[in-house]
């Protein structure tokens, strides 16, 4: 089961928090998991490679040069996603069915006012399976669109040839999604999807800006936020289906580096099919 869960939070006092709280949320999330399944929390922490979950920074508040200003009683949110069957089962049992009352970030107290896992209530949330996503395009025969628009709601960057790239180039985006898909899905896609994206997918529109994220040892990583529309210029229906499937998968897996600590929050946006 793939899950994307929104926690609506109410700030219980005024304050100014750091501009990016992905690491803080990651720590709070693992501490919360350890409260009911310590071995699972340890396994998630020690997992080699791309983590099978994501934790967002604080959503719904605009950063200033000084940080994230919050008023007492202000409503914001965070997002948690899972690609792991065991974790998803535990999240359903301990989060959606029995929500915590508090969710504190960077020593700032928040009351949990709602837990949402329903795209009809919040389009950043939802649930599905890899099999359902695959069946939608590869089995059921839904016509795949030659245009795909993605929204990057958090700074998104990629590591390529020992460099960090802050631009969502087609090969980097769909290559990242492909790696995550094949890591968790019983329906494997060929690595040629990456080459297809590099060779035949163009950027037709974009509205992007750069943003800096501070990490350990005060290092800074630059990522891009905003929207971008890709257009597939060739290929048959199968390759189009693979790209559409991966675009839908982005909601659950994130894109690029450091998705477990707030970067790479992404989703597909509605686009006009031509």
What is the tens place of the pLDDT at every residue in 157-171? 999 988 999 999 999
Looking at the fold, whether 88 and 156 belong to one and the same domain comes out as: no
| Residue 127 forms part of a structural domain | no
Q: What is the pLDDT of residue 80?
A: 98
| Residue 122 forms part of a structural domain | no
| Residue 89 forms part of a structural domain | yes
Ranking 134-143, 187-196, 226-235, 246-255 by mean pLDDT, the lowest is: 134-143
Looking at the fold, whether 264 and 147 belong to one and the same domain comes out as: yes
pTM: 0.96
In DSSP terms, 244 is beta-bridged to none
Give long-range contacts, CB 8 A cutoff, 24+ apart: 46-49.
Answer: 49/183
Looking at the fold, whether 168 and 203 belong to one and the same domain comes out as: yes
d(CA 172, CA 265): 15
Looking at the fold, whether 212 and 107 belong to one and the same domain comes out as: no
Domain stops at, among 100, 116, 132: 116
| Residue 200 forms part of a structural domain | yes
pLDDT tens digits, 86-144: 999 999 999 988 889 999 999 999 999 999 999 999 999 999 999 999 999 998 777 89
**Domain tally, the chain:** 2
Looking at the fold, whether 97 and 159 belong to one and the same domain comes out as: no
d(CA 194, CA 147): 17
Q: What is the pLDDT of residue 71?
A: 96
Looking at the fold, whether 7 and 72 belong to one and the same domain comes out as: yes
pLDDT tens digits, 38-74: 999 999 999 998 899 999 999 999 888 889 999 999 9
| Residue 128 forms part of a structural domain | no
The CB density around residue 15, as the number of other CB atoms within 10 Å, is 16
Handedness of CA 214, 175, 244, 52 (dihedral sign): negative
Looking at the fold, whether 159 and 260 belong to one and the same domain comes out as: yes
Instruction: Tell the burial category of 119 from Cβ atoms under 10 Å away from its Cβ (0-12, 13-18, 19+).
Output: middle
| Residue 68 forms part of a structural domain | yes
Q: Which structural domain range is residue 209 located in?
A: 142-269
Closest of 116, 21, 103, 110 to residue 73, by C-alpha:
110
Looking at the fold, whether 160 and 229 belong to one and the same domain comes out as: yes
Looking at the fold, whether 147 and 230 belong to one and the same domain comes out as: yes
Looking at the fold, whether 152 and 111 belong to one and the same domain comes out as: no
Looking at the fold, whether 150 and 262 belong to one and the same domain comes out as: yes
| Residue 136 forms part of a structural domain | no
CB burial readout 209-234, b (16+ within 10 A) else e: eebebeeeeeeebebbbbebbbbbee
The domain spanning residue 77 has which CATH number? Answer: 3.30.70.1890
Looking at the fold, whether 87 and 163 belong to one and the same domain comes out as: no
The domain spanning residue 155 has which CATH number? Answer: 3.30.70.1900
Question: Residue ranges of the alpha helices (H) in 136-236?
Answer: 170-184, 192-200
| Residue 126 forms part of a structural domain | no
């Amino acid at each position: 089961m793939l899950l994307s869960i929104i926690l609506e939070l109410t700030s219980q006092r005024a304050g100014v928090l750091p501009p990016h709280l992905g690491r803080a949320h990651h720590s709070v999330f693992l501490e919360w998991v350890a409260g009911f399944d310590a071995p699972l929390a340890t396994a998630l922490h020690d997992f080699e490679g791309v983590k099978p979950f994501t934790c967002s920074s604080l959503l719904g508040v605009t950063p200033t040069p000084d940080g994230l200003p919050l008023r007492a009683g202000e409503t914001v949110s965070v997002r948690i996603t899972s690609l792991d069957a065991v974790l998803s089962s535990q999240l359903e049992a301990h989060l959606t069915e029995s929500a915590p009352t508090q969710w504190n970030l960077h020593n700032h107290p928040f009351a949990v006012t709602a837990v949402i896992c329903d795209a009809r209530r919040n389009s950043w949330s939802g649930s599905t399976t890899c099999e359902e996503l695959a069946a939608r395009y590869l089995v059921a025969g839904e016509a795949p669109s030659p245009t795909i628009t993605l929204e990057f709601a958090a700074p998104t960057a990629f590591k390529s040839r020992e460099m960090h790239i802050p631009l969502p180039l087609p090969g980097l985006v769909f290559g990242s999604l492909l790696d995550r898909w094949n890591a968790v899905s019983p329906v494997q896609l060929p690595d040629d999807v990456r080459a297809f994206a590099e060779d035949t997918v163009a950027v037709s529109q974009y509205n992007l800006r750069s943003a800096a994220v501070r990490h350990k040892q005060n290092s800074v990583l630059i990522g891009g936020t905003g929207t971008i529309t890709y257009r597939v210029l060739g290929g048959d229906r199968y390759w189009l289906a693979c790209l559409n499937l991966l675009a839908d998968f982005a909601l659950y897996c994130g894109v690029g580096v450091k998705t477990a600590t707030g970067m790479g929050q992404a989703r597909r946006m509605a686009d006009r099919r031509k």
